[in-house]
Amino acid sequence: MSRTQNFWNEVTFPLAKPGQSRKPDTENDCGFQVMEDIFMIEQTMDRRTPCGVLSLAVVICIEQFSRMNGLTGKKMQKIFEALVPESVYNDARNLVEYCCFRFLSRDGSDIHPSLQDPAFQRLIFITMLAWENPYTNDLSSNSEKASLQNKLVTEEAFVRLAPAISGVVDRPTVHNLFKALAGDQEGISVSSWLNYINEFVKVRQKLISYQIPEFPQLSEERILCIGSNSKRPVLKWENNMAWPGKLTLTDKAIYFEAVGILAEKRAMRLDLTHDGLQVEKAKVGPLGSALFDSAVSVSSGSELNRWVLEFIDLGGEMRRDVWHAFINEVIALHRFIREYGPDDSDESLFNVYGARKGKDRATTTAINGIARLQVLQYLRKLLDDPTKLVQFSYLQNAPHGDIVLQTLAVNYWGGPLVTGFVNTRNQPETRPSDEIADSRNHVFDIDGSVYLQKWMKSPSWGSSISTSFWKNISVKGLILSKNLVVADLSLIERAAKTSKHKYHIVEKTQATIDAATLQGIPSNIDLFKELVFPFTLIVKNFEKLRHWEEPHLTVAFLGLTFTIIYRGKVVKRQNGWVL
């Protein structure tokens, strides 16, 4: 216990800023004491296993999550051993997943409520470290006592565990979020992780508190972002004129409130739910010139319905790029709902339990993605293309992105099939039609949730890739929910992994082509010069003859030519005539 206490005293020590000592100040004493109390927990499990000695991080992770599940680490071990084969049980990573996923599966909210708890934030970080290095070489190894601020979570651990916590990251974009948070480092530090989670919680709480009395219709919409700043205004260009104002983005539309010279306000609305909308980066300027590359154009194919919004940003173009990603994600969300979701008036929604909430689930996912993008913008950890950090926009152009979208649709709208219900008003019992009852052509999630065939409106369902994917969805791990599988992958994870693999292949192929093109140009030019050199020499000599640079050679050439033309002889040979 003393060794464990010393270890956690170090790893939970507040981070010191450059130039400061590591001694905690009075403001951090409370948080430090909370962390110390949380991790000072009795060890009930044996660290020695057939595969090696469990690291201290693994032991504390298992014990803590076991207590949160109402058990001890030793009891959790026994339960897990009884549920899975020996090969699965002997891998400490699987036990870490089971303890963590079992606790997370108890909550089905859009954002896990424990994310607001600083102790839980650090516990998740420790869990990722434990999953990455579950074993140690020596029980008394001093390397385990390294300070937490020197430890980094690698991509593999982050990709596996971070998406399991609702709200933290979407599985299709988890690799891109890792790159953004890690930056130039090989992994994510505890400071980056805590800053990201804390800012995300703040942004989501701020979105809930948004109230705009000027737009009463917003009571039925969810506000995502407001662009209004005296130092960084938003301009709407109309007829080569720029009007400053306040821009509000919701889950269904854009609102622009222009401010006139006399402070009069006129509100405009652009619906983002219709089909055919396009959002592009644009250049604007006075008199129709393309002087400033800081605008976004939103149109529906007609110039009359075209909005051009300029986002003033003296620090660069990232503000425009982020707003482009915001708007594009809302448009992509509704395109996804139209293509993969059932109509709101479809009565079959009542035949699948929870299907009526599918649209809200998809919308909430997009809202969380936009909130995360705002956090990364604030932390200055954006990628060159912010659309890679929001899943619906990213999947539009990702390899096999349509397969990932299919798994998302099954996840959002899928549920247990309702075989019938008793009406309390003495009406006949309602049962699904024969078409719905016939399950041969429906799609099923790993937990048995059904996605009806009549909802498969997208042409992508008929592709050979889609058929092959849905024929091979068997899971060998322990299923705790449709999103949490111990020792195996959920459907979304599997599809996202395939898409990522294809993306790497495309990247490597393109890099090979680019390298071959760039490296091959000099050698190709040299080869071409060698091939045309004899012809170049002939042309040069002919030009000398034509310009009488050497008269005697020119006279000789003309004489020879005259002789050949006018004194040609026909010689008869055995094989034919030769002129």
Least confident of 138-152, 215-229, 499-513, 538-552: 138-152
**Confidence label for 68 from pLDDT (cuts 50, 70 and 90):** very high
Examine the pLDDT at 188 and tell me if it is beyond 70: yes
Q: Which residue has the higher pLDDT, 304 or 291?
A: 291
State how far the alpha carbon of 193 is from the alpha carbons of 115, 170, 324, 388, 513, in Å. Answer: 12, 16, 26, 19, 37
Q: Residue 122: name the closest of 191, 182, 168 by CA.
A: 191
In the chain, the amino acid numbered 222 is R
Long-range Cβ contacts of 255-262 (<8 Å, 24+ apart) = 255/215, 255/218, 256/307, 256/309, 257/214
In 424-490, where does DSSP find H-type helix? Answer: 434-437, 464-471
Residue 26 has pLDDT above 80, yes or no: no
* Cβ contact 322:382 at 8 Å: yes
Asked whether residue 32 carries a pLDDT value surpassing 60, the answer given is: no
Under the banding of pLDDT at 50, 70 and 90, the label for residue 19 is: very low
Q: How far is CA 574 from CA 568, 571, 577, in A?
A: 19, 10, 8
Split at pLDDT 50, 70, 90, the class of 516 is: low
pLDDT class of 314 with cuts at 50, 70, 90:
confident
- Mean pLDDT for the chain overall: 83
Integer angstrom CA distances of residue 15 from 147, 148, 149: 9, 9, 7
State yes or no: pLDDT of 468 exceeds 80.
Answer: yes
pLDDT value, residue 441: 83
- Cα 62 to Cα 3, 5, 101, 372, 488, distances in angstroms: 17, 16, 11, 29, 19
Cβ neighbours of 332 (radius 10 Å): 24
* Residue 43, pLDDT above cutoff 80: yes
User: What is the separation of C-alpha 516 from the centre of its chain, rounded to a whole number of angstroms?
Assistant: 30
- Whole-Å CA distances, 561 to 235, 546, 554, 565, 566: 78, 14, 11, 6, 9
439-457 pLDDT per residue, tens: 678 999 999 999 999 999 9
pLDDT of residue 550: 80
Least confident of 20-34, 141-155, 521-535: 20-34
The answer, yes or no, to whether residue 148 has pLDDT greater than 80, is: no
**What pLDDT score does 213 carry?**
57
* pLDDT recorded at residue 217: 65
Average pLDDT for 246-269: 81
Q: Would the pLDDT of 23 be above 60?
A: no
Tokens for 388? 């890679």
Asked if pLDDT for residue 572 goes beyond 60, the answer is no
pLDDT band at 333 (very low <50, low <70, confident <90, very high): very high
Give the residue-averaged pLDDT of 385-402: 96
User: Percent of the chain beyond pLDDT 90?
Assistant: 56
DSSP state of 47: S
Please, which residues bridge with residue 54 across strands? 135
Q: Reply yes or no on whether the pLDDT at 62 is more than 90.
A: yes
Q: What is the DSSP letter of 138?
A: -
**pLDDT confidence band for 437 (50 / 70 / 90):** low
**What DSSP line would sit under 477-501, residue for residue?**
SEESSSS-EETS--HHHHHHHHHHH
Q: Please give the average per-residue pLDDT across 245-271, as a whole number.
A: 82
Residue for token digits 């008036």?
Answer: 345
Answer yes or no: is pLDDT of 419 > 80.
no
Give the mean pLDDT of 179-194. 94
Distance (Å, rounded) from C-alpha 275 to C-alpha 82?
52
According to the model, what pLDDT value does residue 60 have? Answer: 87
Q: What is the mean pLDDT of residues 458-466?
A: 95
Phi and psi (nearest 5°) for 232? -130, 75
Question: Given a cut of 60, is residue 293 above it in pLDDT?
Answer: yes
Burial of 511 (0-12, 13-18, 19+ CB in 10 A): exposed
Using DSSP's 3-state secondary structure scheme, residue 273 falls into coil
Encoding tokens for residue 442?
């429906």
Determine contact, residues 170/94, Cβ cutoff 8 Å. no
Residue 278 Rama label (left phi>0; alpha psi -120 to 50; beta): beta
Mean pLDDT along residues 467-496: 95
The pLDDT, as a whole number, for residue 324 is 97
Mean local confidence (pLDDT), 427-440: 55
At 449, list the tokens: 């949730």
- Whether pLDDT at 24 is above 50: no
Interatomic CA distance for residues 232 and 226, integer angstroms: 12
Residue bearing the bigger pLDDT, 91 or 16: 91
Helix, strand, coil shares of the chain, percent, nearest 5, are 55, 15, 30
Could you give phi then psi for residue 235, rounded to 5 degrees?
-115, 135
pLDDT beyond 70 at 149: no
What is the Cα–Cα distance from 200 to 136, expressed in whole angstroms?
A: 34
Q: Give the closest residue to 151 by CA, choosing from 188, 180, 203, 182.
A: 188
Q: Which residues contact 510 (CB under 8 A, 6 or more apart)?
A: none
- pLDDT computed for residue 352 by the predictor: 95
pLDDT in the model for residue 428: 45
* Most distant pair of Cα atoms in the chain: their distance: 121
361-386: b or e for each residue (b if 16 or more CB lie within 10 Å)?
ebbbbbbbbbbbbbbbbeeebbeeeb
- Residue 27 is predicted with a pLDDT of 38
pLDDT tens per residue across span 528-557: 666 777 777 787 777 777 777 788 788 887
In one-letter notation, the amino acid at residue 410 is V
In the chain, what percentage of residues exceed pLDDT 70? Answer: 78
In the chain, where the domains are located: 2-207
In the predicted structure, residue 429 carries a pLDDT above the cut 70: no
**pLDDT tens sequence across 275-285:** 999 999 999 98
Among 128-142, 314-328, 451-465, the range with the most confident prediction by mean pLDDT is 451-465
First to last CA, the chain: 109
Where residue 34 falls among pLDDT bands split at 50, 70, 90? very low
Q: Find all residues with CB under 8 Å of 230, minimum gap 6, and list them.
A: none
**Length reported for the chain:** 579
pLDDT of residue 548: 78
